[in-house]
Amino acid sequence: MAFPEGFLVGAAVAAHQVEGNNTKSDFWLMEQMEHTSYAEPSLLACDHYNRYEEDIRLAAGAGLNAFRFSIEWARVEPEPGVFDEAALDHYRSVIDCCRENGLEPIVTLFHFSSPAWLIRQGGWESPETPAAFARYVRHVAEGLGDRLNYVFTINEANLGAQIAGYIKLAANGDADGANIQMGLNLEERDEQADAMAREYQDLFGTTSPASFNTPRTDAGNRVIMEAHRRAREVLREVCPQARVGLTLSLHDLQTAEGGEDAEKEQWRIEFEQFRPAFEGDDVLGVQNYTRAIVGPDGMLPTERGARVTQMGYEYCPEAAARVVRRVASEFSGEILMTENGVATADDAERCEFIDRALPELEACAEDGIPLTGYCHWSLLDNFEWESGYRMQFGLVVVDRETMERTPKPSLAVLGAWARGVGDRE
Ligand code: BGC
């Protein structure tokens, strides 16, 4: 068995998590607050903004053939309607560097962090946001679109919906079971709510800023979907050769006795309610990190004694292919696995994860599922949002003092899959 000709195997990063000094973004400000839910500020991150060539060469040298990264809205449009051409030139260089090194650039236009000004204008709950997003997307598309075959508009469009679901469970005292596939400290947010609200008021003019990683209302989900549709319209007009989609964070949901209705509801929250956005897209980005068992009241806590990752959820490499199969039965376009990975201090666990996940994904492709690529999260140990730098998702270690990169054995393991030799080497 082997992946079909042209199958993409790559690694993923996101701007705020690796670039460093994303000073115009909402997250930067929230990280710097006196009362903050962030374990630490991102600061220089992995200095990828300056070291992207080295990082791309590392990926290419291992045999990977794709690199997924995001363009930072706050850099490209630091003030509303004011565009920084140097930032766009930078991303043009990143794309060109990918091509020179034989990597397909897979670009995400929005990966969680927003320009601070957007949040001051109401953020991801404001009906004005889709127009603002479309303006930014037009600028990027006109500058870079001709170079791209894959553009994802919004990363994990369903993140806020998942967080809202978690908060509802927490209110019922059932939060243990909710595994959000992103580093969040919701308890800390709760404990310091009043002090944080005062700081938010000063920074954003509101006590509850609608950043992307906050619970979304139904109206907010409609804002996100509209932002995606407007962006897709622009991309189809400006760079019609690019395949366009969004990405979703999806659990491999399994049903415990009596959990049938709750499981259906969870899938509705994560997947089905976003159909008005992704229906008609060329490609859907699927992101999975674990499975979740759903009982009558929702997701159950991870079983006692289960093997867990640093994130606290179950170690489950087989979940990825199961989610891909489920999505394929409900979406007819191309599927790209845009994220999958494991936070662990023991790289042998990551090697095992890759060697268990990839054969199952190969089998998907063999069975005729239009799965065209796999991006491992992440190329680098990086800034895991509110969890800070303590989560180790990377194929490469980054020394936090010197920024020196050291590939882990898992980078070569993934490279072998990209070269079509997988675990047969
Ligand atoms: C996000 C990444 C994050 C990863 C690991 C995904 O939700 O897209 O930004 O680092 O999961 O938690």
pLDDT by 10s per residue, the chain, length 425: 679 999 999 999 999 999 999 999 999 999 999 999 999 999 999 999 999 999 999 999 999 999 999 999 999 999 999 999 999 999 999 999 999 999 999 999 999 999 999 999 999 999 999 999 999 999 999 999 999 999 999 999 999 999 998 888 777 666 555 577 778 888 888 889 999 999 999 999 999 999 999 999 999 999 999 999 999 999 999 999 999 999 999 999 999 999 999 999 999 999 999 999 999 999 999 999 999 999 998 889 888 899 999 999 999 999 999 999 999 999 999 999 999 999 999 999 999 999 999 999 999 999 999 999 999 999 999 999 999 999 999 999 999 999 999 999 999 999 999 998 876 65
Q: In testing the pocket of ligand 1, which one of 339, 376, 380 has its CB within 8 Å of the most ligand atoms?
A: 339
Distance from residue 237's CA to the centre of ligand 1 (Å): 30
* Residues in a beta bridge with 299: 294
Helix 409-418 crosses helix 347-366 at what angle (to 10 degrees)? 10
Q: Is 194 exposed, middle or buried (0-12, 13-18, 19+ CB in 10 A)?
A: exposed
User: Which distant-in-sequence residues (6+ apart) come within 8 Å of 18 by Cβ?
Assistant: 45, 46, 48, 55, 380, 382, 383
CA-CA distance, 241 to 245, in Å (whole number)? 13
| Protein residues with CB under 6 Å of any ligand 1 atom | 14, 17, 155-156, 181-183, 249, 287, 339, 377, 384, 393
CA-only gyration radius of the chain, Å: 20
- Between the CA atoms of 349, 351, 355 and 360, what dihedral angle is there, to the nearest 10 degrees? 60
CA atoms of 264 and 256, how far apart (whole Å): 12
Residue 287 has a pLDDT of 98
Cα separation, 155 vs 415, in Å, equals: 25
What pLDDT, on the 0 to 100 scale, is given for residue 169? 76
State how far the Cα of 285 lies from the Cα of 369, in Å rounded to an integer: 14
Alpha carbons within 13 A on the beta-carbon side of 104: 20
The answer to whether the peptide bond before residue 378 is cis (omega within 30 degrees of 0) is yes
Interatomic CA distance for residues 237 and 225, integer angstroms: 19
Catalytic residue among 31, 72, 77, 156: 156
* Residue 143 to residue 154: CA distance in whole angstroms: 19
CB atoms within 10 A of CB 342: 27
DSSP 46-86: T-HHHHHHHHHHHHHHTT--EEEEE--HHHH-SBTTB--HH
Spacing of C-alpha 294 from chain mean position: 23
Backbone angles phi, psi at 22, to 5 degrees: -90, 65
Instruction: Determine the residue of 153, 377, 378 to mutate for testing ligand 1's pocket, defined as the one with the most ligand atoms within 8 A of the Cβ atom.
Output: 377
Contact 68, 13 (CB under 8 A): yes
CA of 185 to the centre of ligand 1 (A): 14
Distance between CA atoms of 283 and 163, rounded to whole angstroms?
25
Rounded CA-CA distance 221/295 in Å is 25
156 is catalytic: yes
Helix or strand (DSSP H, E) at 261: helix 260-270
How far is the C-alpha of 226 from the C-alpha of 133, rounded, in Å?
A: 10
